Chains A and B, each alone.
Chain A
Amino acid sequence: MAGFFDIKARKDAAAAASSSKAPTTKQETPRTQPWVEKYRPKTLSDVTAQDHTITVLQRTLQASNLPHMLYYGPPGTGKTSTILALAKQLYGPDLMRTRVLELNASDERGISIVREKVKDFARSQLSNPPAGPAGVEYRKKYPVPPFKIIILDEADSMTQDAQSALRRTMETYSKITRFCLVCNYVTRIIDPLASRCSKFRFKALDSVNAAKRLEEIAGNEGVMMEKGVTDALVRVSEGDLRKAITFLQSAARLVGATQAASGKVKEGDAMDVDGESGATVTVAIIEEISGVIPDDTISRLQSAMQPGKKTSRYSSVANVVTDMVADGWSAAQVVSQLYEKVLYDETIPDLQKAKITMIFSEVDKRLVDGADEHLAILDLSLRVADVFAEE
């Protein structure tokens, strides 16, 4: 108790407590961490396949000047990763907290927040690296340019009002603050904001780069993969690397976990086990967890739609559709897969395809509006079948 006022002793105790605690958490994190976070690029050069953007940013890194930026592109292409990596390289770990403000759709971002939180942060003083030799050392490692960065992630879900409130703020404090807006749809950002930023488009990942990255991760994690799994992953994820990585991790978990459970290995060893015993991830597992409908189900629907014995067409289509709905396949998935099937079918004449596309667009709109799935799929398949029967 005598030591209560002894600040130094308390500090030591606190340090001891935290250091004894730290290793345990550290031990746990790598296993429980999603691979998406674990393999988030640490530096700009790690970012996969956005060469153009990265070269431009590398140059700004050396010049230590930065414009306001607007990143846009489909999900899973590395927008958030890029800005986080850039910030890390600019400020280093110690200053990240004070120099970078990250706001996303999970935070309240109404007009009041823009007025208060963002503005307060934008006009606050710059924090500096510690004085003395340590600071000099720190500056050697990281450029620490004289401005802060405000990252507005998922900016397309901000209201118009909130966006307009940003306009003046961006200009007034541009001496000490840079904004980086990240969004999927550049059209949802109001023009005055977009014109204040230099825009970077992130394109969907091409299959070669995505496959390379996936194999790298699989290699690091010791996941055995059947041949063709990377292709399947790339196919089902449609250029979304995050989705592909999540699928890979889920598949590895399922395989590893089932293996561990069936082999009566103690829990917790699951991750090490799948490396050794060679449980492999198969294409079927990938398709199952990604919610893709197996090919033969779709073919069954397609063959039911073909004109044949005219009397039974309704009932055969209706039966297949009822089964599909009861099996829980989602209508959006049915629509997109059937669409691909029909469009790439060479035997269907162009005129029919044009008509079919019209039907698809209508049904898709209905589904987005929340229409009933059973009726929508049945309607779709019957009408497509009608088009087939026309000739």
Chain B
Amino acid sequence: MALLVDKHRPRSLDTLSYHPALSARLRALAQSSDFPHLLIYGPSGAGKKTRTTALLKELYGPGVEKIKIDARTFQTTSNRKLDFTIVASVYHLEITPSDVGHTHDRVVIQHLLKEIAQTQQLDALARHRFKVVVVNEADHLSRDAQAALRRTMEKYSPNLRLILLANTTSNIIAPIRSRTLLIRVPAPSVEEIAQVLTSICARESWTPIPALHARIAVDSGRNLRRALLMYEAVRAQHEVVTADTPIAPPDWEALVGVVAREIVAERSAACILRVRAKLYDLLVHCIPPTVVLKTLTWALVGLLEEGGDDGVKGEVVRWSAFYEHRIRLGSKHIFHLEAFVAKFMRIQESYLMGMDLDF
């Protein structure tokens, strides 16, 4: 059985449940004769991908849903072979260049896009002469790959349109931003998520429980995908679901919560050692270090709530941002996580002692 997320994913622009103005705009773009390059950005779980697929359907009709997966091999200048997967239909194709890593994504962009751009649309009856290339995770493209996109976008515009999907525009170089139409997809509001959950209840013929829906919506942090997964988990774990059914957080989140409580309760070298084992456990289970650090920070700040001192919280966030940056730059993640834990203990201790130890 398919997950709720996939089962009830809207397939066309008309069935999208929120941001009606945006849907109207996308439909208008799809129907107009000139379709620009798009850069669609927004937080994860906001519905960027869903909107893209719906837009493609609007552009070409149901033919885009017939997709096949294609494995390709590229050769770099240093004769290394790169394996690359492409998801394609007759009208469009979808690539995730960051799969091949930061150093080689340029090769894929250069070869693949040019090849596509130089061939014409095969289907003579197609509604548009151009093909669409959807680039996932465009904000993870290296500078070189983005530079390679620049002229390609202008030169081959008769045969090719790009849809770039990104979480943020910060890492997209200015020349690309100036060549695309920016479309922002904000995360759905808490009420909108609750509405979506209710409508899914109707479709699954479950009895809707508004209070539970509201709680899940708040807990999901305005991430619809997460909300749906949480809801499904709650439904699967409990026979009878009521308004106060506990929403079990994912295992890793629970573990981070435990870590946070331990650190706040005890500040000693022994505690760091204990915590270290747990942090290692998280990393071994492939939880990205940034996510661990962020969750830990929010948990710590939440625990400090009772103390209610702004100074400490500000300090915690400050060092969290500092070590997060270090994680990006460094190569051994556990060091920085531990350093943050130690730093937090020190901040907390000096605050409780009422002394201003210099940091």
Contact = CB atoms under 8 A, between A and B. Distances in A.
B29 A253 contact: yes
Contacts of B322: 379
A332 to B, nearest CB: 4
Interface stretch (B184-192, B251-259, B345-353): B184-192
A85 to B, nearest CB: 16
Given A75-B174, A260-B28, A31 B114 contact: no
B267 interface: no
A313 B184 CA distance: 29
B137 to A, nearest CB: 13
Contacts of A382: 313-314, 317-318
Interface string A295-332: 00000000000000011011000100000011111111
Contact of B32 (A107, A112, A153, A270): A270
B324 A32 contact: no
Nearest to B171: A370
A371 B321 contact: yes
Contacts of B182: 289-291
B33 A157 contact: no
Contact of A373 (B129, B170, B320): B170
A42 to B, nearest CB: 17
Given A327-B187, A330-B169, A378-B317, A32 B221 contact: no
A37 interface: yes
A76 B29 contact: no
Contact of A330 (B114, B151, B168, B179): B168
B28 A105 contact: no
Contacts of A249: 36
Interface stretch (A63-71, A125-133, A134-142, A240-248): A240-248
A165 interface: no
A76 B178 contact: yes
Contacts of B31: 257, 260-261, 267, 270
Interface residues of B, number: 65
A370 B27 contact: no
Contact of A375 (B42, B294, B313): B294
A374 to B, nearest CB: 7
A106 to B, nearest CB: 4
Interface in B279-329: 290, 294, 297, 301, 308, 310, 313-314, 317-318, 320-322, 324-325, 328-329
A191 to B, nearest CB: 22
A329 B169 CA distance: 8
Main SS class of interface, A:
helix
A333 B32 contact: no
Contacts of B185: 328
Contact of B320 (A258, A326, A329, A375): A375
A378 B187 contact: no
A272 to B, nearest CB: 11
Contacts of A154: 147, 150-151
Interface in A23-56: 28-29, 31-34, 36-37
Given A105-B147, A106-B152, A260-B32, 14 more contacts: A32-B34, A106-B148, A157-B144, A243-B174, A246-B179, A261-B28, A314-B314, A332-B170, A333-B169, A366-B321, A369-B325, A371-B321, A379-B322, A383-B314
